[in-house]
Amino acid sequence: MLVFLLVELYGWHAVLTPELLVVAAGIALLYAKAGNIQPGREGVFVAIPWNRQALFYAGLVCFYFGYGGFLSVLAKESIDFYVLQLCIRYLCMIPLFLAGLPVWIRNALLSRLPGGCRVLRNDRYGLFAELVFFLLLSVLLLPIVFNVLLKIVILRFMVHIGLLASAWLMWEYFFRAERFGRLWNNRKKLLVLGSILLFPICMVMAGSSAVAYSHPQFILCISKPVGAIQYGIVSKSASGGVLLMVAQQLSFNLAIRVTRSV
């Protein structure tokens, strides 16, 4: 089986990443104890609906597979799996977390992000955050930039911090769109803008050969590459481009439906 071969090549720790399981379990415990309540009538805290709690726990599953698990190993050898991890992190995990968190926790987290307080007052900053997010993502996935960043760990880390912060602000604005009126138009604007910004990089990836992303994606840049993809996974960047566009469309449309019930 593929999992056993991955364990043989990389070791069980790299494939399972048990530390992430511990972190996810700790977050789940904190959420179950104090993070799933919100102020109710007469100042009494009440539990948020079970369906919203389920969204948060689904976000924890995305957290695990977005940063660890066997997908993190496959991402070292295939740009398609790397794109899949990016989609899980920024287009699935964050909106699921926000949908499952009570507003008072979201406000506290948002106030600690650069420009976060402004999102609470002005819808333009939400659109700006989306612009920054999709431009950063597009630049990251350019073959020449991707291969160079593999060798510059600090810069790569900063890019991912920028992606995380801008994605959080973008989705936070998405869930607060009704505060600025024209609810449907505001969210549709985000969907259309994201599609336009992603289209060029999706075309670039579709037109790239399998060797365009020739370097395995090692985060610390210290491990030796496995060499040939012994387990039969061939990187075809065209698939990554299609996956990115589909994930963007699907996540935004599903989020529009979710916001009607949260």
Could you report the per-residue pLDDT of 133-145, keeping only the tens digit for each?
999 999 999 988 9
Residue 116: domain span:
10-36+45-259
Q: Please choose, from the candidates 195, 177, 184, 200, the residue with its C-alpha nearest in 3D space to the C-alpha of residue 251.
A: 195
**Residue 3 domain-assigned?**
no
CB-based contact 45:39 (threshold 8 Å): yes
**Residue 152 domain-assigned?**
yes
* Secondary structure tally for the chain: helices H, strands E: 14, 2
Residue 25 pLDDT more than 80?
yes
Strand partners, 46: 38
Count structural domains, the chain.
1
* Distance separating alpha carbons of residues 104 and 242, to the nearest angstrom: 37
By mean pLDDT, which of 39-48, 180-189, 216-225 is the weakest? 216-225
Mean of the per-residue pLDDT values of the chain: 79
Mean pLDDT over residues 201-224, rounded? 62
Predicted confidence band of residue 29 (pLDDT cuts 50, 70, 90): very high
Could you report the per-residue pLDDT of 116-164, keeping only the tens digit for each?
666 666 667 778 888 999 999 999 999 889 888 888 889 999 999 999 9
| Confidence (pTM) | 0.84
**Residue 208 domain-assigned?**
yes
**Residue 118 domain-assigned?**
yes
pLDDT of residue 227: 44
**Residue 2 domain-assigned?**
no
Residue type, 132: V
**Residue 132 domain-assigned?**
yes
